[in-house]
Structure 1
Amino acid sequence: MSLPLDPHDLRAQFPALRRTVDGQPAVFFDGPGGTQSPERVIDALSGYLRRGSSNHGGPFLTSRETDAASDAARAAMRDLLNARRPEEIIFGQNMTSLTFSLSRAISRTWQPGDEIIVTRIDHDANIAPWLLAAEDRGATVRWLDFRPEDCTLALDTLPALLTPRTRLVAVNYASNAVGTISDVRRVVELAHATGALVYVDAVHYAPHGVIDVQTLDCDFLACSVYKFFGPHTGVAYGKYELLDSLTAYKVRPASDEPPGKWETGTQSFESLCGVAEAVEYLASVGGPAGSRRERLVRGMEAIRAYEATLSEHFLRGATRIPGLRVYGITDVENLAGRTPTFAVSLAGRTPEAVATYLGERGFFVWHGNYYALAAMERLGQEPEGLVRIGFVHYNTTEEIDRLFAALAELAGRDL
């Protein structure tokens, strides 16, 4: 059973939430593009630099402190993802860079005529690297579609796409555009039955729910810490035996063992300090008792339950705004199938005009395709895209009500 979550108590930990626009509190509904950080994360980054920084691997104090900071970040991410060992955690510039690196290594094992599967609902960071790798290796690309009416993945068509020559399935855990949560465990079961690997993009899902790579049994999973209240650092998980056996593109003096063989150049060690504290923050939401993993599970379950109330509040209120259309799952009885991220359109207004109008009034929302290019093309919304309104657990129903007032005012204005 999840703990009750009080967003007002937690909001006090986020200094950015104190900003104002024309005397009114700023409303951060841009979480799908990047979240704000609590004070403890900010202090961790600045504290590392203030104490004196150094590269890792040296026989002196600041270097040993850097090694300890890196180890702490890796252990924290192991607990967040429930990896079997810390060596299964790789850090990098961002999820996109890590996916390009891993796709290059994985595709070395492909032969002409092999096949891969990507989905039309994914962020392009989990599509383009695989398309390029397939082109380089002469592999065939198959597409898993989604249903435009509710933006759910057409998993019933996946068995027909899988063949003995399928080498990899790339799928997101949740859509960064429309919020749909994918049945990743089912994808893994089907893919593994044919011998294919599964690469999961969990960037959008990570701030919204529990991740357990052992239960999912996925082969790889990637996320970005700035999407769950930390710094701009990418993280990739891979099963150790795969990370160990695959050939990494690296400089020759670098380690030949995971994770070092996969981490190119010098990491942002100050950011790794922030990574550890971002995970500690999420664990703190789960209360003081138990192991960090146990606290993380309770904390993420509490976040999930609270965010469902935000989703229901938004979906019920959206029906009262003339001309407002919400894409994706709109059934309040099926909130378990989505995150609190909503792509919307307003009749007679361009997405850019809506986002600009709201931005001038202190509501921070995105417009366009948010790199979910294939999804917007499938929905017939390219090139303008849609408006994206996304909530995380520091948002409130009061903020949503303010948004409704602004949208109603815009909808009622003469064109």
Structure 2
Amino acid sequence: MTYDVARLRSLVPALAAGTVFLDGPGGTQTPLPVADAMRAVLLAPLSNRGSATASARNAEAVVQGFRRAVGDLFGTTDHAVVTGRSATQLAFDLARTIAADWAPGEEVVVSTLDHDSNVRPWVLAAAAAGAVVRRVDPDPETTEIPVERIAAQLSGRTRLLAITGASNLVGTRPDLPAAAALARSHGAQVWVDGVHLAAHAPVHLGELDVDFLVCSPYKLMGPHCGVLIARPEALEPLRPAKLAPSTDAVPERFELGTLPYELLAGTTAAIDLLASLAPAQEGEDRRSRLARAMSAVEEHEDGLRRILERGLAGLPGVRVHSRAARRTPTLLLTVEGCDPQQLVAGLAEHDVVASAGTFYAAEGARALGLPVGGGLRFGLAPYNDRSDVDRALTALGAVLGA
């Protein structure tokens, strides 16, 4: 199908001034339909959820619409969709709840390539339970997380494997179905940080065969909130701390206080916008359209990534550290003798936005042998086009004096 990036760009006001945004892994720019949806909810009659008044029905419709949209994006039921302040907050809350019945000597396995939001919550939860944390390091040459390394850390004492869907540091996409199968063979659950994966590829919870997955809508053109998607049977036994009068129903059991209706509406609008990237077919539902649209996003971004990689290969002193066979359009690079923060400042003078550091993956950066300051990261989003890539390469060349 034809990917209409020009149409998408026309819907993102922040792009109108000509700035090139290659900082997608840190958050995307907001399209008009998302902002409009949030504004509409805030200005319509609104109150606590219910059915007696128009304002209560509006709130209920927003929540249920959000759950259906997220369920369609991830191929799961709307009864398994939980919202929270952020993916990090959800990980901390659920880690404490999941680990409540862990016993001393039992184990949790984490990947050091992960964002710390998928490491620290499990480390702290394990410490409280007297459980043991076992770590899987990436291969420093390939930046992969070999399945063999995961297998070596699993045992009959493993209660949970926490692993990234895609590294926000170098873009590595581990073999999640294989990792999940290994964990299940030991009777362990699987928690996936899907924040960086969900923005770039189709994600179907059932096909991955994992128990929990978190994502951040603001990485896929939505508002700043977090979402947990889970197998309903994984949520049912969990008993989080909550207020006594609040419902014990799933998924509301895990959501504390009044929900941010405008953020939920914005998330639904972002998912609808993603679906619109695939031309409508007669009789097709949103779930199927989303699968096609995200495949188109993946293909579009991968094409730009290859152009970017070829251009970087021609610049002096540049070393690209993103080398996994399967990866997102996220390139971490270092330049001999250059501070990555200075490179970011130099690019900004050319109206190109990038970012630098270790991006909350300090353990992974050390395992890969990166400098203390990390590297310069270029990360593509669905609205980036060839001109963005060309301008970024020209700007970096100018900064390096090439």
TM-score scaled by structure 1? 0.94
Which residue is 1:252 aligned to? Answer: 244
SS for the counterpart of 2:29 is coil
- Which of 93, 115, 123 lines up with 1:123 in the alignment? 115
Aligned equivalents of 1:382, 1:256: Cα separation in 2: 48
Q: Residue 205 of structure 2 aligns with which residue?
A: 213
Q: Which of 165, 174, 182 does residue 173 from structure 1 map onto?
A: 165
Give the counterpart of 1:79 among 57, 72, 95. 72
Q: Tell me, in whole angstroms, the C-alpha distance in 2 between the residues paired with 1:256 and 1:55.
A: 17
Question: Could you say which residue in structure 2 is the equivalent of 1:386?
Answer: 375
| 2:356–2:374 CA contact under 8 A, matched in 1 | yes
2:316 is the alignment partner of 1:322: yes
Residue correspondence of structure 1 range 87-102 to structure 2 within 5 A: 87-102=79-94
Amino acid at match of 2:355: W
Contact 1:369 1:382 in 2 (8 A): no
Q: Superposed, which structure 2 residues align to 1:2-401 within 5 Å?
A: 3-19=1-17, 25-57=18-50, 59-83=52-76, 85-289=77-281, 290-329=284-323, 334=325, 337-381=326-370, 383-401=372-390
Could you give the per-residue CA deviations for residues 182-227 of structure 1, whole angstroms, max 9, x where no partner exists?
1111110000000000000000011110010011110000001001
Amino acid at match of 1:411: L
Q: Within 2, Cα distance between the matches of 1:64 and 1:53?
A: 8
- Counting aligned pairs with the same residue, the percent is 38
RMSD, aligned CA: 1.2
- Compute the displacement of 1:4 (Å): 2.4
Q: Please report how far the alpha carbon of residue 392 of structure 1 lies from its aligned counterpart in structure 2 after TM superposition.
A: 1.3
Paired with 1:238 and 1:263, the residues of 2 have a C-alpha distance of: 14
2:393 equivalent among 373, 390, 404: 404
Q: Which amino acid aligns with 2:337?
A: G
Q: CA deviation at 1:238?
A: 1.6
Aligned residues: 400
Long gaps (5+) in structure 1: 20-24
* Contact map agreement 1:152 1:328 (CA 8 A) in 2: no
Question: How far is the alpha carbon of 1:382 from its aligned partner?
Answer: 5.0
Distance 1:309 1:278 in 2: 23
Q: Secondary structure at the match of 1:107?
A: helix
Structure 2 unaligned residues grouped into runs of 5+: none
Following TM superposition, by how much is the alpha carbon of 1:237 offset from its aligned partner in structure 2, in angstroms? 1.1
Mapped contact 1:221–1:236 kept (Cα < 8 A): yes
CA distance in 1, matches of 2:398, 2:278: 39
| Distance (whole Å) between structure 2 residues aligned to residue 401 and residue 283 of structure 1 | 28
AA aligned opposite 2:185: A
* TM-score, normalised by the number of residues in structure 2: 0.97
